[in-house]
Structure 1
Amino acid sequence: MTDKGIGLSRRKMLAGLGAVGVASAGAGLGTTAYFSDDESFEGNTLTAGELDLKMDYRMTYRGGPGRLGELQENYPNATFVDEDMEPTDDDTGVYLLDQVPNRTEYPGAEDWVIGANGVYDPETGEGEGFQRDELIDAGDLEDALIRIGDVKPGDYGEVTFSTHLYDNPGYMWMGGMLTDENQNGYTEPEIEALEEMGDPTDDPDGDGQLADSIRAKIWYDDNCDNVHQGERDEESEGVDVMLSIDNSGSMGGGPGSKMEQAKAAALDFVENLGPNDRVGLVTFESTGQLRQGLTSTHSNVETYLQPEPAGISDAGRTMMDAGVDLAADELNDNGRSGVDEVIILLGDGEPNESDRAGSDHVQNAKDAATDAKNDGITVFTIGLGVSNGSTAQNTLIDMASSSNGTTLYYDSPTGTDLDDIYSQISSVILTGEEVIAEGTLREVMTALEAGIELDANVQSEERICFTNSVTRCFGFEWELPTTVGNEIQTDSVEFAIGFAAEQCRHNDGETNPYAPDDSNGTNDGNVTNGGNATGTA
Structure 2
Amino acid sequence: MTDEDFTLSRRKALAALGTIGVASAGAGLGTSAYFSDQETFENNRLVAGTLDMHVGWEEHYSDWSDDEDDGLEGDVTMGNDQPVGLPTQDSSLISVNSTADARQFLNNTETDQFPNGTDTFDDAGTMNGCTVLPDSADQSPVIVDLDDVKPGDFGEVTFAFSLCDNPGYVWMNGGLRSASENGTNEAEADDPDEEPGTVELLDEVQTALWYDDGDNLQSGSGGAGGTADVVIVMDTSGSMGGSKLDNAKAGAKTLVDTVGDDVNVGLVQFSSGAGAVSDLTTSKSQTKSDIDSLSAGGTTNVGAGIDAGQNLLTDDTRGARSGVNKVLVVLGNGQSSTGRSEATAAKDAGTTIYTIAYGTGADENLMEDISSPPKIDDGSITDDDQFAFISGETDISGVFSGIGGRITSGEEVFFQGSLREALTALEDPDGQGVPLEGNVPAGQAGGTGRDCFDGQGAVHYVGFAWWLPVDHGNEVQSDSATFDLGFYTEQCRHNDGGGMNSEQVDGGA
TM-score range, shorter chain: 0.5 to 0.7
Instruction: Give the RMSD, CA atoms, in angstroms.
Output: 4.7
Question: Which residue matches 1:147?
Answer: 145
Question: Which residue matches 1:114?
Answer: 123
Determine which of 164, 184, 187 is the counterpart of 2:185. 187
| Kept after mapping to 2: 8 A contact 1:59/1:96 | yes
Render the CA deviation track for 1:48-85: whole Å, top value 9, x for unaligned: 654432212111112211489xxxxxxxxxxxxx9475
Structure 2: how far apart are the matches of 1:485 and 1:231?
33
Question: Which residue matches 2:60?
Answer: 60
Determine which of 435, 439, 445 is the counterpart of 2:417. 439
Question: Which residue matches 1:99?
Answer: 113
The DSSP-based 3-state class of the residue aligned with 2:478 is coil
* TM-aligned CA deviation for residue 449 of structure 1: 0.7
| Kept after mapping to 1: 8 A contact 2:233/2:309 | no
Does the C-alpha gap of structure 1 residues 511 and 399 become closer, same or farther in structure 2, counting only changes over 3 Å? same
Does the C-alpha gap of structure 1 residues 270 and 462 become closer, same or farther in structure 2, counting only changes over 3 Å? closer
Structure 2: how far apart are the matches of 1:224 and 1:176?
21
Aligned-partner residue type, residue 407 of structure 2: I
* TM-aligned CA deviation for residue 264 of structure 1: 7.7
Question: Which residue matches 1:217?
Answer: 208
Aligned-partner residue type, residue 328 of structure 2: I
Render the CA deviation track for 1:123-182: whole Å, top value 9, x for unaligned: xxxxxx52x6xx26243245x310112212221211111113345443322211122222
Question: Which residue matches 1:426?
Answer: 408
Aligned-partner residue type, residue 475 of structure 2: E
Residue 321 (str. 1) matches residue 303 (str. 2): yes
Does the C-alpha gap of structure 1 residues 118 and 215 become closer, same or farther in structure 2, counting only changes over 3 Å? same
Does the C-alpha gap of structure 1 residues 261 and 140 become closer, same or farther in structure 2, counting only changes over 3 Å? closer
Determine which of 208, 218, 230 is the counterpart of 2:199. 208
| Kept after mapping to 2: 8 A contact 1:170/1:465 | yes
* TM-aligned CA deviation for residue 494 of structure 1: 1.5
Structure 2: how far apart are the matches of 1:251 and 1:322?
20
**Which of structures 1 and 2 has the larger relative contact order (alpha carbons within 8 angstroms, sep 6+)?**
1
TM-score, length of structure 2 as denominator length: 0.66
Question: Which residue matches 2:270?
Answer: 284
| Kept after mapping to 2: 8 A contact 1:252/1:259 | no
| Kept after mapping to 1: 8 A contact 2:178/2:481 | yes
Structure 2: how far apart are the matches of 1:416 and 1:115?
12
Does the C-alpha gap of structure 1 residues 456 and 138 become closer, same or farther in structure 2, counting only changes over 3 Å? same
The DSSP-based 3-state class of the residue aligned with 2:215 is coil
Does the C-alpha gap of structure 1 residues 136 and 192 become closer, same or farther in structure 2, counting only changes over 3 Å? farther
| Kept after mapping to 2: 8 A contact 1:213/1:441 | yes
| Kept after mapping to 2: 8 A contact 1:179/1:495 | yes
| Kept after mapping to 1: 8 A contact 2:125/2:386 | no
Structure 1: how far apart are the matches of 2:129 and 2:250?
27
Structure 2: how far apart are the matches of 1:53 and 1:435?
23
Aligned residue pairs total: 418
Aligned-partner residue type, residue 55 of structure 1: V
Question: Which residue matches 1:137?
Answer: 136
* TM-aligned CA deviation for residue 498 of structure 1: 1.0
Alignment of 1:431-510 (within 5 A): 432-450=410-428, 451-457=433-439, 462-504=450-492, 509-510=497-498
Larger Rg: 2
| Kept after mapping to 1: 8 A contact 2:484/2:506 | yes
Determine which of 272, 291, 308 is the counterpart of 2:262. 272
Structure 2: how far apart are the matches of 1:494 and 1:446?
14
* TM-aligned CA deviation for residue 409 of structure 1: 3.4
Does the C-alpha gap of structure 1 residues 102 and 363 become closer, same or farther in structure 2, counting only changes over 3 Å? farther
Does the C-alpha gap of structure 1 residues 469 and 267 become closer, same or farther in structure 2, counting only changes over 3 Å? closer
Structure 2: how far apart are the matches of 1:268 and 1:44?
34
The DSSP-based 3-state class of the residue aligned with 1:391 is coil
| Kept after mapping to 2: 8 A contact 1:397/1:407 | no
Alignment of 1:1-400 (within 5 A): 29-34=1-6, 50-66=50-66, 83=101, 94-103=108-117, 105=118, 112-119=121-128, 130=132, 135=134, 137-142=136-141, 144-193=142-191, 195=192, 197=193, 199-200=194-195, 203=196, 206-221=197-212, 223-230=213-220, 241=229, 243-246=231-234, 248=236, 250=240, 259=249, 262=252, 265-266=255-256, 269=259, 271-273=261-263, 283-289=269-275, 301-302=281-282, 306-307=286-287, 313-315=293-295, 316-317=297-298, 318-327=300-309, 342-347=326-331, 349-351=332-334, 361-366=335-340, 368-370=342-344, 372-373=346-347, 377-382=351-356, 386-387=358-359, 391=362, 395-400=366-371
Aligned-partner residue type, residue 217 of structure 1: A
* TM-aligned CA deviation for residue 433 of structure 1: 2.2
| Kept after mapping to 2: 8 A contact 1:282/1:323 | yes
The DSSP-based 3-state class of the residue aligned with 2:425 is helix
Does the C-alpha gap of structure 1 residues 148 and 136 become closer, same or farther in structure 2, counting only changes over 3 Å? farther
| Kept after mapping to 1: 8 A contact 2:256/2:265 | no
Aligned-partner residue type, residue 333 of structure 2: E
Structure 1: how far apart are the matches of 2:494 and 2:111?
41
* TM-aligned CA deviation for residue 435 of structure 1: 3.2
